[in-house]
Amino acid sequence: MSVDYQASFVGHPPGSAYPKLNFVEDSKVVLGDSKEGAFAYVHHLTLYDLEARGFVRPFCMAYISADEHKIMQQFQELSAEFSKASECLKTGNRKAFANELEKKLKDLDYTRTVLHQETEQQKKANDKGYYTTQAIEKANELASVEKSIIEHQDLLRQIRSYPYRKLKESEFHPYEPECALDRADVSSDQDPTASDFTEPGETHLYTHVPSYTPKLIKAKSAKCFDKKLKTLEELCDVYFFTQTLDQLHHIERTFRGDVCYLLTEQISRALLKQQSVTNFLFEDVSFLDEKPPEKQYRGCQGLGQDAIDEKCSEESMAPKVVISLGSYKSSVECVPIKMEQEMEDSEEPKMSESVMSEHQENLDYLDADIKGSISSGESIEVLGTEKSGTGLTKSESQASLPVIPSPQVGRSKVGSRRTVSEDSIEVLSTCPSESLIPEDFKASYPSAINEEPYVDDDEGGLRFTPRLNPGIDDGQDDISKLESLVQVDAACCIGKESPNFLEPVPELGQKPCEEDGVVRIPPQPYRPAEQGLRGGFPSHDGLSGGLLPYELDSRYLTGSREVSKSSLDECSDSTSYISSTASTCSDRTPSPAHLACVAGEKHRKRAGQNALRFIRQYPFAHPAIYSLLSGRTLVVLGEDETMVKKLVTALSIFVPNCGVYAKPVKHWVTSPLHLVDFQKWKLIGLQRTVSPAGVNVLHALSRYSRYLSILDADSKTLRCPLYKGTVVARLADHRTQIKRGSTYYMHVQSILTQLCSKAFLFTFCHHLHLPISEREPEESVVNRRMNFLKLQLGLANEDIKIVQYLAELLKLHYIQEPGQGGNPLLRFDYVPSFLYKI
């Protein structure tokens, strides 16, 4: 239908001397075949081809799904994303079309010159006084060529003026070079012939391909109908074409999965944005920092700095195939690609191991795609109305383009086939879960474990790549602060009834906090500076026996020694049963906008698995979790690094964050612990060795053991305070029938959100923290608070301490300077510890 509309008004309109290009808008159609159970969002667009009838070639892109409601519910998002892909493709097409026209004009110009010379020669040779038939033919031919030149000049003028005409319209954002230098370069390179056609006042974005050698055009070949139509690759500039394919990949990944997960994620994201005050405690900050789908566009419109960075890192991770970027500085719109390349180079030395891991993961991903195993329920296919799917045969119009394929070209092959769902790959290998349980976890607890196995170390390292930013380094600052704190006698801070923080709160008077520490100003959204710092993690080199930066990442996970095997959890995401329109999808990859998101998803699942296993196997899980939730540092002691790391991973989901950075979790320490470590970390994996050095480790531990909870992984004991509350019981019931780690993780998340809500209420309750009258004693205020916690929030016993601790964190976080980062807390409780054994 839309194709029919777009076919109107092209070619020679009545009353017009020259052919007119019609810049048609895209059409979007949702249709389906209820019999086959297939539904599609189809995005129609028109590209230009000098050799096509009316110069137009209709194309369409489609998103196909088994769930009609999914397409309609995500219509606007799909439309926005496909519009970006379309705009990218059309921009590249305009560029290629203009190139083609320029070449054609040069050919025509050259032909005219030749014809003119021939005519002149004939005139000179003619002494008969009348025109010969040959001369007349030549003259006609010359006139035809001149007419053709005028027509093509007009076409070129039309195609060049398009972005400027569109700019006057609503929301059109063409490519524009970001630096004036590029513009200047481009302008200086311009061909004088081309500049003749430029409209007055128009910025010279169009350049000329200098290496083209004009050819003689035969008069009769001007209207040749038997020419082969160009492929889609030939119709579009290579850079834009690959960008389009990237965008289509991005769309497929974004909208993969059951619609219920997509919807919930969108709703959750919107709700989390409204509660920025509490998000730092348990939420995945990287998840929140991700741009929503409509803003994730990396390819085409208005390449922002973020997008450039992302592009750079992406390209740097790709195989070492260098693109000759200079050749792109031509024709329709100019793209600051060269600048990106420079940035890429400058970034390269900073690439850490983790980034390389991501690179590897990219390769894996690509590899998986190329292998083309079982496809997911939905797929994207780029459909051309004609032979667009043929090979990458270079047309004449692309003669100047680089011969070496870009990494994206490699991907383009993937783009034309169904994209592989990693869920489907995971289905391929299923093994009995029982056989995968590590021996040490099978140990003593009799409950049945129906879980998936760990993934090996290497894979874990590859999957979970922290977003490092070595440039941001306030480690020195932290160290100096910490050193000053170390000199403070710990005893002077001990003994106070209410927990105190060693770190002084800077300039309280200027903060929205009164002297009594009560927050009276409502929470405000995060300040930009604060947000900016979230992307990276501070370096903490030199602490606790050389802590690696990646260990700060909340998403960093340790693997296990088992060989990578697929799990129950990973193998069953094939069909959806409840909806009448069953959608084949993955529930765990609802909208992985990019690899980090996939990693985050994997992390959540694995952490959930470990935690579920932990609560089932260790009867003293409750006091251990209570320690973490109430801010008491828990040390996991053991000989086997793998086992310790697993336990740390399992427990990490219960650790509240202290600042905007990663969770205060240290997976593995081999050196003796110091006081500063307890300020920095709330969960530590500690190596037990029998060597003399190991004695020091244990000695240091025993020195502070009064203020710590210690989980001995070797002897399966726990020394920590007693817990008699109910909150943790809801969090960690060893009889739970929850079968999967991801489900358990979500359950934990919902309970922790409830806890955050209680802490928020307690922190910002306006009548709770201040005396009602001037003469009201402090004890009365304290009693009121306790009553509130008990009666209004329904908390009992140790649960009160959990909410109090979270409230303290909230208060501290709220009154912090933006950009200062999380101030670690150091507090001591004189609570008698008990020894738990299995």
Task: Examine residue 753 and tell whether it contacts another protein (CB under 8 A).
Answer: yes
Burial (CB < 10 A; 0-12, 13-18, 19+), residue 30, is: middle
DSSP H or E segment with residue 709:
strand 709-712
Q: How far is the CB of 77 from another protein (least distance, A)?
A: 11
- Residue 79 or 500: the one with the smaller Cβ distance to another protein is 79
Task: Examine residue 754 and tell whether it contacts another protein (CB under 8 A).
Answer: yes
Q: How far is the CB of 8 from another protein (least distance, A)?
A: 7
Task: Examine residue 693 and tell whether it contacts another protein (CB under 8 A).
Answer: no
Among 302, 542, 794, 837, binds another protein (CB under 8 A): 794
Q: How far is the CB of 575 from another protein (least distance, A)?
A: 6
| 342-347, Cβ contacts within 8 angstroms, sequence gap of 24 or more | 343/308, 343/309, 343/312, 344/312, 344/313, 344/315, 344/316, 347/309, 347/312, 347/313, 347/316
Task: Examine residue 27 and tell whether it contacts another protein (CB under 8 A).
Answer: yes
Residue type, 2: S
Task: Examine residue 695 and tell whether it contacts another protein (CB under 8 A).
Answer: no
Among 219, 746, 781, 831, binds another protein (CB under 8 A): 746
Site string for another protein, 565-594 (x = CB under 8 A): -------xxxxxxxxx------x-------
Q: How far is the CB of 582 from another protein (least distance, A)?
A: 8
Task: Examine residue 79 and tell whether it contacts another protein (CB under 8 A).
Answer: yes
- Residue 33 or 497: the one with the smaller Cβ distance to another protein is 33
Give, in order, the Cα–Cα distances in Å from 201 to each of 102, 157, 205. Answer: 20, 13, 12
Burial (CB < 10 A; 0-12, 13-18, 19+), residue 278, is: buried
Give, in order, the Cα–Cα distances in Å from 208 to each of 100, 109, 160, 200, 202. Answer: 11, 15, 13, 18, 16
Task: Examine residue 20 and tell whether it contacts another protein (CB under 8 A).
Answer: no
Query: In sequence order, what DSSP letters do the residues of 676-692 get, joined into one string?
Result: HHHHH-SEEEEE--SSH
Task: Examine residue 34 and tell whether it contacts another protein (CB under 8 A).
Answer: yes
8 Å CB contact between 175 and 329: no
CB atoms within 10 A of CB 385: 12
Task: Examine residue 376 and tell whether it contacts another protein (CB under 8 A).
Answer: no
- Please identify which residue in the block is written with the tokens 């959204």: 525
Residue type, 66: A
- Residue 10 or 637: the one with the smaller Cβ distance to another protein is 10
Task: Examine residue 756 and tell whether it contacts another protein (CB under 8 A).
Answer: yes
Among 122, 161, 190, 268, binds another protein (CB under 8 A): 268
Task: Examine residue 6 and tell whether it contacts another protein (CB under 8 A).
Answer: yes
Among 75, 428, 484, 528, binds another protein (CB under 8 A): 75
Q: How far is the CB of 282 from another protein (least distance, A)?
A: 11
8 Å CB contact between 589 and 598: yes
Q: How far is CA 199 from the centre of its chain?
A: 41
Cα–Cα distance between 664 and 655 in angstroms, integer?
8
Site string for another protein, 35-74 (x = CB under 8 A): x--------------------------------xx--x--
Cα–Cα distance between 392 and 394 in angstroms, integer?
6
Cα–Cα distance between 340 and 326 in angstroms, integer?
12
Q: How far is the CB of 573 from another protein (least distance, A)?
A: 8
Q: How far is the CB of 688 from another protein (least distance, A)?
A: 35
Task: Examine residue 31 and tell whether it contacts another protein (CB under 8 A).
Answer: yes
Task: Examine residue 761 and tell whether it contacts another protein (CB under 8 A).
Answer: yes
Q: Give, as ranges, the residues between 706 and 745 that touch another protein (CB under 8 A).
A: 730, 733, 736-740, 742-743
Task: Examine residue 2 and tell whether it contacts another protein (CB under 8 A).
Answer: yes
Size of site (CB under 8 A) for another protein = 81
Q: Give, as ranges, the residues between 516 and 545 that touch another protein (CB under 8 A).
A: 522-524
In residues, how long is the chain?
838
Cα–Cα distance between 284 and 609 in angstroms, integer?
18
Task: Examine residue 24 and tell whether it contacts another protein (CB under 8 A).
Answer: yes
Query: In sequence order, what DSSP letters do the residues of 20-67 get, joined into one string?
Result: B---PPPEEEEEEETTTTEEEEEEEEEEE-TTSGGGEEEEEEEEEES-
Task: Examine residue 385 and tell whether it contacts another protein (CB under 8 A).
Answer: no
